[in-house]
Amino acid sequence: MDIRFDPGGNVTVFGGTHSHGQGHATVFAQLVLADEINRATPKAQSALLEAMEERQVTIDGVSHPLSGQFAVFATQNPVEFEGTYPLPEAELDRFLLKIRLDYPDAAAQEEEAILLRHHTGFDPRQVDALDVEALDAGQLAAARRQVSAVTVEPALLAYVAAIARRTREWPSVSLGISPRGSVHLLHVAKALAALSGRDYLVPDDVKRAAPAVFRHRLILEAAAELDAVTPDQVVADVLAAVDVPK
Protein backbone atom coordinates (compact mmCIF):
# COMPACT_ATOMS: atom_id res chain seq x y z
CA MET A 1 0.00 0.00 0.00
CA ASP A 2 1.40 3.41 -1.01
CA ILE A 3 0.37 6.51 0.93
CA ARG A 4 1.46 9.94 -0.27
CA PHE A 5 1.46 12.83 2.15
CA ASP A 6 0.99 16.56 1.73
CA PRO A 7 0.51 19.37 4.28
CA GLY A 8 -3.28 19.04 3.89
CA GLY A 9 -3.14 15.25 4.32
CA ASN A 10 -6.29 13.45 5.40
CA VAL A 11 -5.92 11.62 8.71
CA THR A 12 -8.63 9.17 7.67
CA VAL A 13 -5.90 7.37 5.77
CA PHE A 14 -4.95 5.84 9.12
CA GLY A 15 -8.03 6.11 11.27
CA GLY A 16 -10.74 8.32 12.68
CA THR A 17 -13.50 7.66 10.15
CA HIS A 18 -14.44 5.00 7.64
CA SER A 19 -12.49 5.03 4.38
CA HIS A 20 -14.10 4.39 0.99
CA GLY A 21 -17.24 3.23 2.79
CA GLN A 22 -15.58 -0.07 3.69
CA GLY A 23 -15.01 0.53 7.39
CA HIS A 24 -11.26 -0.08 6.97
CA ALA A 25 -8.37 2.37 7.04
CA THR A 26 -5.88 2.44 4.17
CA VAL A 27 -3.13 1.36 6.57
CA PHE A 28 -4.65 -2.15 6.71
CA ALA A 29 -1.91 -3.75 4.63
CA GLN A 30 1.15 -5.87 5.32
CA LEU A 31 3.65 -3.41 3.83
CA VAL A 32 2.88 0.31 3.88
CA LEU A 33 5.00 2.82 1.95
CA ALA A 34 4.62 6.29 3.46
CA ASP A 35 5.95 8.61 0.75
CA GLU A 36 7.51 11.89 2.01
CA ILE A 37 6.38 11.24 5.56
CA ASN A 38 7.70 14.60 6.76
CA ARG A 39 4.93 16.26 4.73
CA ALA A 40 2.29 14.58 6.91
CA THR A 41 0.56 16.81 9.44
CA PRO A 42 1.22 16.20 13.14
CA LYS A 43 -2.28 14.68 13.41
CA ALA A 44 -1.54 12.19 10.63
CA GLN A 45 1.86 11.42 12.17
CA SER A 46 0.14 10.70 15.50
CA ALA A 47 -2.24 8.28 13.80
CA LEU A 48 0.69 6.50 12.14
CA LEU A 49 2.45 6.30 15.51
CA GLU A 50 -0.50 4.35 16.92
CA ALA A 51 -0.31 1.88 14.05
CA MET A 52 3.46 1.43 14.45
CA GLU A 53 3.55 1.16 18.25
CA GLU A 54 0.23 -0.45 19.16
CA ARG A 55 -0.16 -2.55 15.99
CA GLN A 56 -3.75 -1.39 15.77
CA VAL A 57 -5.91 1.31 14.18
CA THR A 58 -8.81 3.04 15.88
CA ILE A 59 -11.82 3.71 13.64
CA ASP A 60 -14.96 5.34 15.03
CA GLY A 61 -13.70 4.57 18.54
CA VAL A 62 -13.18 0.86 17.82
CA SER A 63 -9.65 -0.65 17.78
CA HIS A 64 -8.75 -3.05 14.98
CA PRO A 65 -5.54 -5.17 15.10
CA LEU A 66 -3.09 -5.05 12.21
CA SER A 67 -1.40 -7.96 10.44
CA GLY A 68 1.48 -9.73 12.13
CA GLN A 69 3.55 -8.86 9.04
CA PHE A 70 2.66 -5.15 9.23
CA ALA A 71 5.64 -2.89 8.48
CA VAL A 72 6.06 0.74 7.48
CA PHE A 73 8.62 1.87 4.92
CA ALA A 74 8.87 5.67 4.70
CA THR A 75 10.68 8.15 2.49
CA GLN A 76 11.58 11.65 3.59
CA ASN A 77 12.13 14.80 1.55
CA PRO A 78 15.63 15.88 2.63
CA VAL A 79 15.78 19.14 0.63
CA GLU A 80 12.62 21.19 1.01
CA PHE A 81 11.50 22.60 4.34
CA GLU A 82 8.36 24.51 3.33
CA GLY A 83 5.26 22.50 4.11
CA THR A 84 7.17 19.85 6.08
CA TYR A 85 6.82 18.76 9.70
CA PRO A 86 9.80 17.18 11.49
CA LEU A 87 8.90 13.80 12.91
CA PRO A 88 8.85 13.72 16.73
CA GLU A 89 11.59 11.73 18.45
CA ALA A 90 9.03 9.22 19.75
CA GLU A 91 8.01 8.33 16.20
CA LEU A 92 11.54 8.24 14.84
CA ASP A 93 12.43 5.77 17.58
CA ARG A 94 9.81 3.34 16.21
CA PHE A 95 11.61 3.04 12.87
CA LEU A 96 14.07 0.17 12.91
CA LEU A 97 16.49 1.62 10.34
CA LYS A 98 17.29 4.78 8.42
CA ILE A 99 18.87 3.98 5.06
CA ARG A 100 20.67 6.71 3.16
CA LEU A 101 20.45 6.62 -0.63
CA ASP A 102 23.39 8.40 -2.25
CA TYR A 103 23.97 9.28 -5.88
CA PRO A 104 24.82 6.37 -8.21
CA ASP A 105 28.40 5.10 -7.94
CA ALA A 106 30.45 6.50 -10.84
CA ALA A 107 33.16 3.85 -10.51
CA ALA A 108 30.61 1.05 -10.87
CA GLN A 109 28.85 2.89 -13.73
CA GLU A 110 25.54 2.59 -11.89
CA GLU A 111 24.06 5.66 -13.58
CA GLU A 112 24.92 4.32 -17.02
CA ALA A 113 23.12 1.09 -16.12
CA ILE A 114 20.04 3.10 -15.05
CA LEU A 115 20.05 5.01 -18.33
CA LEU A 116 20.37 1.78 -20.30
CA ARG A 117 17.39 0.21 -18.53
CA HIS A 118 15.22 3.23 -19.28
CA HIS A 119 16.47 3.36 -22.87
CA THR A 120 15.38 -0.26 -23.37
CA GLY A 121 11.86 0.35 -22.05
CA PHE A 122 12.05 0.08 -18.27
CA ASP A 123 9.13 1.85 -16.53
CA PRO A 124 9.36 2.04 -12.71
CA ARG A 125 5.59 2.58 -12.52
CA GLN A 126 4.92 -0.89 -13.96
CA VAL A 127 5.54 -2.83 -10.77
CA ASP A 128 4.05 -6.04 -12.17
CA ALA A 129 6.71 -6.09 -14.88
CA LEU A 130 9.60 -6.09 -12.39
CA ASP A 131 11.54 -9.32 -12.03
CA VAL A 132 10.85 -9.60 -8.31
CA GLU A 133 9.54 -12.67 -6.53
CA ALA A 134 7.19 -12.00 -3.63
CA LEU A 135 8.04 -13.48 -0.24
CA ASP A 136 5.18 -15.50 1.19
CA ALA A 137 4.18 -15.50 4.85
CA GLY A 138 5.74 -18.93 5.45
CA GLN A 139 9.14 -17.81 4.19
CA LEU A 140 8.98 -14.67 6.31
CA ALA A 141 8.10 -16.69 9.40
CA ALA A 142 11.00 -19.07 8.72
CA ALA A 143 13.40 -16.14 8.34
CA ARG A 144 12.22 -14.70 11.64
CA ARG A 145 12.79 -18.04 13.37
CA GLN A 146 16.28 -18.21 11.89
CA VAL A 147 17.11 -14.76 13.26
CA SER A 148 15.65 -15.60 16.67
CA ALA A 149 17.82 -18.72 16.82
CA VAL A 150 21.08 -16.74 16.49
CA THR A 151 23.18 -17.30 19.62
CA VAL A 152 24.38 -14.22 21.51
CA GLU A 153 27.07 -14.53 24.18
CA PRO A 154 26.65 -12.47 27.39
CA ALA A 155 29.75 -10.44 26.48
CA LEU A 156 28.06 -9.28 23.27
CA LEU A 157 24.89 -8.30 25.12
CA ALA A 158 27.10 -6.19 27.39
CA TYR A 159 28.82 -4.75 24.27
CA VAL A 160 25.50 -3.59 22.78
CA ALA A 161 24.46 -2.06 26.11
CA ALA A 162 27.84 -0.30 26.47
CA ILE A 163 27.52 1.27 23.02
CA ALA A 164 24.03 2.60 23.81
CA ARG A 165 25.14 3.96 27.19
CA ARG A 166 28.15 5.70 25.69
CA THR A 167 25.93 7.63 23.26
CA ARG A 168 24.01 9.04 26.26
CA GLU A 169 27.27 10.37 27.73
CA TRP A 170 28.81 11.63 24.48
CA PRO A 171 29.66 15.39 24.63
CA SER A 172 28.15 16.31 21.25
CA VAL A 173 24.92 14.36 21.82
CA SER A 174 21.83 15.95 23.38
CA LEU A 175 19.70 12.79 23.32
CA GLY A 176 21.33 9.37 23.14
CA ILE A 177 20.03 5.94 22.23
CA SER A 178 16.98 4.68 24.10
CA PRO A 179 16.61 1.10 25.39
CA ARG A 180 14.36 0.49 22.37
CA GLY A 181 17.25 1.55 20.15
CA SER A 182 19.63 -0.92 21.80
CA VAL A 183 17.04 -3.70 21.35
CA HIS A 184 16.74 -2.79 17.67
CA LEU A 185 20.54 -2.84 17.34
CA LEU A 186 20.59 -6.38 18.73
CA HIS A 187 17.81 -7.54 16.38
CA VAL A 188 19.44 -6.07 13.26
CA ALA A 189 22.86 -7.44 14.23
CA LYS A 190 21.32 -10.92 14.62
CA ALA A 191 19.66 -10.56 11.21
CA LEU A 192 23.03 -9.66 9.65
CA ALA A 193 24.57 -12.73 11.26
CA ALA A 194 21.82 -14.94 9.81
CA LEU A 195 22.24 -13.33 6.38
CA SER A 196 25.95 -14.14 6.62
CA GLY A 197 25.10 -17.81 7.15
CA ARG A 198 25.99 -17.88 10.84
CA ASP A 199 23.91 -18.93 13.83
CA TYR A 200 25.99 -16.88 16.27
CA LEU A 201 26.68 -13.16 16.72
CA VAL A 202 30.09 -11.50 16.39
CA PRO A 203 31.12 -7.89 17.19
CA ASP A 204 31.38 -6.99 13.50
CA ASP A 205 27.64 -7.67 13.12
CA VAL A 206 26.96 -5.05 15.78
CA LYS A 207 29.33 -2.56 14.16
CA ARG A 208 27.75 -3.04 10.73
CA ALA A 209 24.25 -2.53 12.11
CA ALA A 210 24.94 0.51 14.33
CA PRO A 211 24.95 3.38 11.75
CA ALA A 212 21.58 2.53 10.18
CA VAL A 213 19.98 1.78 13.55
CA PHE A 214 21.34 4.87 15.35
CA ARG A 215 21.55 7.72 12.81
CA HIS A 216 17.89 8.77 13.09
CA ARG A 217 17.78 8.39 16.86
CA LEU A 218 20.74 10.54 17.90
CA ILE A 219 19.89 14.18 18.63
CA LEU A 220 23.01 16.31 18.46
CA GLU A 221 23.84 19.42 20.45
CA ALA A 222 23.33 22.69 18.56
CA ALA A 223 27.05 23.45 18.70
CA ALA A 224 27.87 20.10 17.09
CA GLU A 225 25.39 20.72 14.28
CA LEU A 226 26.97 24.14 13.66
CA ASP A 227 30.32 22.37 13.38
CA ALA A 228 28.76 20.07 10.72
CA VAL A 229 29.08 16.99 12.93
CA THR A 230 26.86 14.18 11.64
CA PRO A 231 25.21 11.31 13.55
CA ASP A 232 27.24 8.85 11.46
CA GLN A 233 30.46 10.50 12.65
CA VAL A 234 29.29 10.23 16.25
CA VAL A 235 28.42 6.54 15.79
CA ALA A 236 31.87 5.86 14.34
CA ASP A 237 33.56 7.68 17.25
CA VAL A 238 31.45 5.84 19.84
CA LEU A 239 32.22 2.45 18.29
CA ALA A 240 35.93 3.31 18.36
CA ALA A 241 35.69 4.28 22.04
CA VAL A 242 33.95 1.14 23.30
CA ASP A 243 36.09 -1.89 24.01
CA VAL A 244 35.31 -4.85 21.75
CA PRO A 245 34.80 -8.16 23.56
CA LYS A 246 37.39 -10.81 22.82
Domain presence at residue 132: no
pLDDT tens-digit map of 131-152: 778 788 889 899 999 999 999 9
The rounded distance, in Å, linking the Cα atoms of 97 and 210 is: 9
Of 92, 122, 148, the domain-final residue: 92
Same domain, 141 and 87: no
> What is the tally of structural domains in the chain?
2
Q: Please, what is the end-to-end C-alpha distance for the chain in angstroms? A: 45
pLDDT tens-digit map of 71-82: 888 888 777 777
Q: Identify the band that residue 9 occupies on the pLDDT scale cut at 50, 70 and 90.
A: low
Residue 49 belongs to domain with CATH number = 3.40.50.300
User: What pLDDT sits at residue 28?
Assistant: 75
**What one-character-per-residue DSSP string does 124-145 give?**
TT-GGGS--PPPPHHHHHHHHH
Same domain, 173 and 86: no
Domain presence at residue 103: no
Residue 155 belongs to domain with CATH number = 1.10.8.80
Q: Which domain range does residue 29 map to?
A: 2-92
The alpha carbon of residue 211 and the mean position of all alpha carbons in its chain are separated, in whole angstroms, by 12
Edge-to-edge strand order for the sheet containing 71-74?
A: 2-4, 31-35, 71-74
Same domain, 144 and 221: yes
Domain presence at residue 123: no
User: What pLDDT sits at residue 6?
Assistant: 62
Same domain, 161 and 75: no
Q: Which residue did the predictor score with more confidence, 124 or 162?
A: 162
CB neighbour list of residue 171: distance below 8 Å, 6 or more residues apart: 221
The alpha carbon of residue 231 and the mean position of all alpha carbons in its chain are separated, in whole angstroms, by 15
Specify the pTM. 0.84
Label residue 87 exposed, middle or buried (CB < 10 Å: 0-12, 13-18, 19+): buried
Same domain, 150 and 64: no
Amino acid occupying residue 191: A
Comparing 11-15, 52-56, 85-89, 151-155, which segment has the lowest mean pLDDT? 11-15
Q: Which residue did the predictor score with more confidence, 35 or 99?
A: 99
Name the nearest CA neighbour of 165 among 174, 148, 180, 177: 177
Tabulate helix, strand, coil % of the chain (nearest 5).
Answer: 45, 10, 45
The rounded distance, in Å, linking the Cα atoms of 167 and 156 is: 17
H helix runs in 69-178, sequence order: 89-92, 110-119, 137-148, 154-169
Domain presence at residue 126: no
User: What pLDDT sits at residue 26?
Assistant: 60
User: What pLDDT sits at residue 58?
Assistant: 79
Contact 58, 15 (CB under 8 A): yes
Of 92, 109, 128, the domain-final residue: 92
Same domain, 144 and 223: yes
Domain presence at residue 68: yes
